[in-house]
Structure 1
Amino acid sequence: MAEKQVKDYEKFVVRFPDGMRDAVAERTKENGRSMNSEIIDMISKSLSSISLSDEKLVYMLEAATQENILSLSDDDRAEVGPLLMQIAEKLTSKIESETSSLKQVIAMLSAIKKHT
């Protein structure tokens, strides 16, 4: 089967707020990708992230005290283990996302300062 040509992909026009294009361009340089590839990667990561709400995370963390974990049956522990791993992955993802957002904000501020 032949691969899709660029003209076969759907197109969507995006309007960037001031400074965001420069921030994305900076990120493309860091990652060695095109603007399009970088934007697609950011959207893909956003869409594939685990969807636990902050409230659910707080509830699960409060319920997952060491005392509660030790009182669980072996079967319950087997179920809780993957859930705690999911929480750890979600928290890691949130930290990475917030770090990335912070870098973007700093890059935008830097771009704005250069133009003033």
Structure 2
Amino acid sequence: MGQTAGVVSELCPCGFGLTYGECCGRFHRGEANAPTAVALMRSRYVAFVLNEVAYLRETWHPSSRPARLTLPRDRRWTGLDVLATSGGGIFDVEGTVEFAAHYRTGGRDGAQAERSRFVREDGRWFYVAAV
């Protein structure tokens, strides 16, 4: 189960500048689908921050979705940098997003850098895999 209680009116961890409720929270609640690949990537980052495993699985493309997903309990996500995008717009069917997701674990800072591939099917974006 996620940890969204109490964060609805706080700034969204994705760094876009809106509150969680106005930003990624509406995607997590199923009120809307992310309109672009980068919006989906940001909402997936926030799902990692808030331990929203169900959302991560549901936005993972069925062709590459893991059977089980367990998030590390000792990792605290501290920030997101979107470095580059290609495609992934509202009229595209594919896109890539390069990012660095920063974290702290075991008293040490780290970052997960990735170039992710996304596809849009039936009007909905899905994460496919790192490329």
Compare the two structures and name the one with the higher strand fraction. 2
State the TM-score, normalized to the length of structure 2.
0.20
State the TM-score, normalized to the length of structure 1.
0.22
Larger Rg: 1
> Comparing both chains, which one has the higher relative contact order based on Cα–Cα distances under 8 Å and sequence gaps of 6 or more?
1
Compare the two structures and name the one with the higher helix fraction. 1
